[in-house]
Amino acid sequence: MNLRKLLRPPQPRLPLTGHEPSPVPVPAVDRLRDDDLQQLNSLLKWNCYTVDSRGRRFGDCARAGKRELPQPIPDRRIALFDQACGLTGRSVLEVGCFEGVHTIGLAQAGAQVTAVDARMENVVKTMLRCQFYGVVPDVRRCDLEVQAELESLPDVDLLHHVGVLYHLVDPVRHLQALAPKVRRGLMLDTHVATAETARHMLLSGGRQWRCQRYAEGGVGEVFSGMYDHAAWLVLDDLLQLLVELGFAQTRVHEHRDERNGPRVLIFAERGLPA
Ligand SMILES: C[S@@+](CC[C@H](N)C(=O)[O-])C[C@H]1O[C@@H](n2cnc3c(N)ncnc32)[C@H](O)[C@@H]1O
């Protein structure tokens, strides 16, 4: 067992009931008896949770301090994505779907969702959570850093890319391979390096990219990338890359200072007529 896992605080026991109820009914969960929902919650090692309209927990927090609060559906960024790009009737590829929370929000906004994750356990949890929320996305296991797996993905109108880029060993190669599959635009939420923290160079596509090398948990850590480190790009370089990949209308919607470093929410569009 690795040291990080040994030092991790034990998972708190969250109550089943007494959470802020979902304002929207979740019929397949709402009608479960408490003991059935308890069993559903303990069948798999859930790492985040949502709440039904009776204020009951579906899933679990990861550990103390990690996804301890319920995950809202929809996530606030999905409304922004909808305003920026229009989700209704559009095909959307969601990368790094984790346990399906954003997947449900996208599907409920009217998108046809293909959701992928490198970890089979996340694929299964996404399928199961979506089933209980009455949405039926196409959920697939795909490691976005394995070229052949990425190439097997369908072409789509829009790309939902939240919380994943900063987990990748080579984000440049990844975006270069993925961009041709995206017809219209994308929402990208990621950590970035600053000129001060970008002390390494990533050699990718025959070019050198300033980057911050960031330690990752690897395969055994469900939130993490698949390798022992990731490369965080400098914001200006990332924006320039998106423009080079054909997203002429690229804008930073928000800058956030988070525990692990600066983070941005980017919208990028090719500028096609609506
Ligand atoms: C920090 S979580 C973010 C989850 C979700 N998008 C969110 O914002 O809540 C990162 C997710 O990306 C997945 N992931 C990491 N590296 C990946 C890769 N190379 N290919 C596909 N999925 C990956 C992880 O398994 C995990 O589900």
Compute, in angstroms, the gap from residue 145 CA to the centroid of ligand 1.
12
Q: Whose CA is nearest to atom 15 of ligand 1?
A: 225
Residue 8 confidence (pLDDT): 60
In the three-class reduction of DSSP (H, G, I as helix; E, B as strand; rest coil), residue 144 is classed as coil
**Contact residues of ligand 1, CB 6 A cut-off:** 96, 98, 102, 117-119, 122, 143-145, 162-164, 167, 222-223, 225-226
Domain residue ranges in the chain: 3-59, 76-269
pLDDT, tens digit (0-9, with 9 covering 90-100), for 172-208 = 999 999 999 999 999 999 999 999 999 999 999 899 9
Classify domain 76-269 by CATH architecture: 3-Layer(aba) Sandwich (3.40)
Q: If you average pLDDT over every residue of the chain, what do you get? A: 94
**Average pLDDT for 136-157:** 97
Cα-to-centroid distance, 230 and ligand 1 (Å): 13
115: which strand partners? 94, 139
67-98 pLDDT, tens digit each: 899 999 999 999 999 999 999 999 999 999 99
In this prediction, residue 39 has a pLDDT band, given cuts at 50, 70 and 90, of very high
Instruction: Report angle CA 68, 235, 218 to the nearest 5 degrees.
Output: 45
In 105-260, the DSSP E strands lie at: 112-117, 138-141, 156-162, 182-191, 200-204, 207-215, 229-233, 249-258
**Alpha-carbon distance values, 4 to 1, 11, 149, 155 (Å):** 9, 14, 30, 38
